[in-house]
A and B are shown apart, each in its own frame.
Chain A
Amino acid sequence: MNTVISLNDINKNYYVGEITISALQKVNLKIMEGEFVSIMGASGSGKSTLMNLIGCLDVASSGEYLLDGVNVSRLKADEFADIRNKKIGFVFQNFNLLPRTSALENVELPLLYDRSGILRNNTKAAREALIKVGLGDRLDHIPNQLSGGQKQRVALARALVNNPSLILADEPTGNLDSSTSLEIMELFAKLNKQGKTILIVTHEYDIAEYTKRTVFLKDGMIQWDRKIKHSDRPNQLPVNHGKRNYE
């Protein structure tokens, strides 16, 4: 089994005037191919920073990041762009689809910037990706004609179309109602079963429970890293707490 993500002693500092804010401290993380992982934590815990680093949108202040075995710790902007294009598929909370652009064209977008596959049939690949997420009948709809769940499916298809090593989802159900959230999470689970490596950043325990492994961040450090348990929920009374008192 290949290692998809390998973070070694990652630090990330922000400088506001003379004050240094340490967003990530000594983060070590390994994610293997085919894993289904969630990153959790409170606001300001460093989730977004970690996700930006893993997504090659940002560079760590120190430490080493291997993506698919390749060191991507210190790359130029254009090299990062190529990595994002080939190895990472993004899914965002607010879908981030191009407005007034058909679902098909939205999904084709990553292929437009793919420097390796000039001869590939973009439209065919995009159509297949949309069929995979169950939107085969909505190819020509523009985002405004789609429901939130359908928009997120288009975004997922866009993330899948380049066949990336990693799907990186940032609060993918944040703008969806609970039943649609469920559908989307089941879709993620299905894709994971098909072998996709998926990393979901979320603050919802229900979402994290779908994943096989949860990395919990607190103050820029990994607090724990395992399958989430029911008892991890805050302010959660133990199930038999009252009973015990009366025993």
Chain B
Amino acid sequence: MNKYLKIEKAAIKSILRNKTRSLLTSLGIIIGVSSVIVMVALGQGSSKKIQTDIASMGSNLLMISPGNSIYQGISRGSGSQQSLTLDDCEMLIEGSQYLQAVSPSVNFNGQVIGGSGNWYTRIEGVNQFYPQIRNWEIAEGNFLTAKDIKAKKKVVVLGNSVAEELYPSGNAIGQKLRISNTPFTIIGILKKKGQNAMGMDQDDIILAPSTTVLSRLKGSKYGSYINSIYASAVSEDVMDEAETEITRLLMQSHKIQSENDIDFRIRTQSEILEFATSTTNTLTLLLGAIAGVSLLVGGIGIMNIMLVSVTERTKEIGIRMSVGARTRDILLQFLSESLTLSLIGGSIGILSAVLISAGLKQVTSLTPIIDPVIAITAFLFSGAVGVFFGFYPAKKAAELNPIDALHYE
């Protein structure tokens, strides 16, 4: 042990003797390690951001939308069928044991007039459970009540963006607002939710009772058909059960026998999450791999300098051999030098990765998340690179003939 300590001490001394060269040699490793860590941190940061974005969509969310409709052999795509009704919604509320809340969604885009001017936005007809399902809180006033829904009251809750646009000075509560020539009373304003995972402004919306929207705004040709149903499972663990249950209940009420004829589609939050994160994961992997290659290139830099160093220090090797250094001593000396060089590079790399991440956090909206496992792996990998690329030069040094090495000029 003592002897290895001495060898390591000698290695550090020899590295310190050529400070500039040592720093330049480990620069490749520094850049490699820090870029691996930063790239993965960026990837994980953006994936985390997408995850929170998607989680903000709602809690244990299940989205039921109508299936594809085929008219004279032409498929019109998902959601084109009119198969979901408010009755389906009621039926799910009453018949389900895995769902804690269900809300219909009837939406259309239209011009609204009120406050300081007019605005084109999305009007969504929902029920009183909607905020609970979508994790949305009220900033001012109240949300729709069961009574509002039942009585088809002409009341609305404004999304934050709409409220800011039409009532920049506040005091929107109690004001009248016209949607398609129908006057509505504003009873509440939602808290700001920001962009969704796709970058759309979720606050550019007006919420109204689904019953009112269906009867007053969408016109009779829609009947009681709705665009989709949002449901919230009682817990994350019963998402699968809830999905099965919804399928069973809706098949029952739609009188569907075979699963092939299902006229609706259920998507869960985790599906959306999976899709979104798989994209960022691929990207993270790609960036990490490129950074890993730069780490490897850094290793070649070390090999290069170590080879030069062996030639340059042939005489030193000869001297060491003449005073009794064994082959193994010389091998270990050069190996430990390259290992130390690359580990020093790895440490500086981790340090600079932390600094770069902190800098990126300041200047971008992303928060890079440094994974300690990745940091340690990159550090160990840099050590492995040092040993791997240091081995050839070290072997070359150890195999020198002492007489030739001593007389080398």
Q: Are B320 and A96 in contact (CB under 8 A)?
A: no
Cα(A84)–Cα(B403), bound, Å: 13
The CB with the most chain A CB atoms within 10 A, among B2, B13, B324, B403, is that of B324
Q: Are B319 and A86 in contact (CB under 8 A)?
A: no
Q: Are A57 and B323 in contact (CB under 8 A)?
A: no
In the complex formed, the residue of A with least CB distance to B398 is A77
Partner of B324, one of A58, A101, A113: A113
Q: Are B325 and A92 in contact (CB under 8 A)?
A: no
Partner of A98, one of B6, B319, B324: B319
In the complex formed, the residue of A with least CB distance to B328 is A78
Q: Are B322 and A84 in contact (CB under 8 A)?
A: yes
Nearest-CB distance from A25 to chain B (Å)? 20
Q: Could you say which residues of chain B place their CB within 8 Å of the CB of A101?
A: 13
Q: Could you say which residues of chain A place their CB within 8 Å of the CB of B318?
A: 96
Is B17 interfacial (CB 8 A cutoff)? Answer: yes
Cα(A58)–Cα(B322), bound, Å: 11
Q: Are A85 and B327 in contact (CB under 8 A)?
A: no
Q: Could you say which residues of chain A place their CB within 8 Å of the CB of B315?
A: 96
Q: Could you say which residues of chain B place their CB within 8 Å of the CB of A78?
A: 326-328
Partner of A90, one of B6, B322, B325, B326: B322
The interface size bin for chain A is: 20 to 34
Q: Are B2 and A96 in contact (CB under 8 A)?
A: no
- B-facing residues in A74-131 (Cβ within 8 Å): 77-78, 81-82, 84-86, 90, 92, 96-101, 109-110, 112-114, 118
Q: Could you say which residues of chain B place their CB within 8 Å of the CB of A98?
A: 316, 319
Is A52 interfacial (CB 8 A cutoff)? Answer: yes
Q: Per-position contact with A for B321-345: 1 when CB-CB < 8 Å, else 0?
A: 1111111110000000000000000
Is B10 interfacial (CB 8 A cutoff)? Answer: yes
Q: Are A57 and B322 in contact (CB under 8 A)?
A: yes
Is B79 interfacial (CB 8 A cutoff)? Answer: no
In the complex formed, the residue of A with least CB distance to B315 is A96
Q: Are A92 and B406 in contact (CB under 8 A)?
A: yes
Q: Are B323 and A118 in contact (CB under 8 A)?
A: no
Q: Could you say which residues of chain A place their CB within 8 Å of the CB of B221?
A: none
Q: Are A82 and B403 in contact (CB under 8 A)?
A: no
Nearest-CB distance from B156 to chain A (Å)? 82
Is A12 interfacial (CB 8 A cutoff)? Answer: no
Please report the number of residue pairs spanning A and B whose Cβ atoms sit closer than 8 angstroms. Answer: 60
Cα(A85)–Cα(B320), bound, Å: 10
A84-B323 contact, Cβ under 8 Å, with A78-B328, A112-B10, A113-B329: yes
A58-B403 contact, Cβ under 8 Å, with A78-B328, A100-B17, A112-B10: yes
Cα(A52)–Cα(B318), bound, Å: 13
Nearest-CB distance from A125 to chain B (Å)? 14
Q: Could you say which residues of chain A place their CB within 8 Å of the CB of B323?
A: 84-85, 90, 109-110, 113, 158
Cα(A109)–Cα(B361), bound, Å: 51
Is B147 interfacial (CB 8 A cutoff)? Answer: no
Is B255 interfacial (CB 8 A cutoff)? Answer: no
Q: Could you say which residues of chain B place their CB within 8 Å of the CB of A100?
A: 17
Cα(A112)–Cα(B110), bound, Å: 87
Cα(A113)–Cα(B325), bound, Å: 6
Q: Are A118 and B2 in contact (CB under 8 A)?
A: yes
Cα(A52)–Cα(B406), bound, Å: 11
Cα(A96)–Cα(B315), bound, Å: 8
Q: Could you say which residues of chain B place their CB within 8 Å of the CB of A84?
A: 321-324
- Complex A-B: 17 CB contacts under 8 Å: A55-B322, A57-B403, A58-B403, A78-B328, A81-B325, A81-B327, A81-B329, A82-B324, A96-B315, A97-B319, A99-B316, A101-B13, A109-B323, A110-B323, A110-B324, A112-B6, A113-B329
A96-B318, A113-B320 given; name 12 further pairs at CB < 8 Å: A78-B327, A78-B328, A81-B329, A84-B321, A84-B322, A96-B315, A98-B316, A101-B13, A113-B325, A113-B329, A118-B2, A158-B323
Chain A residues within CB distance 8 Å of chain B:
52, 55, 57-58, 77-78, 81-82, 84-86, 90, 92, 96-101, 109-110, 112-114, 118, 158, 162
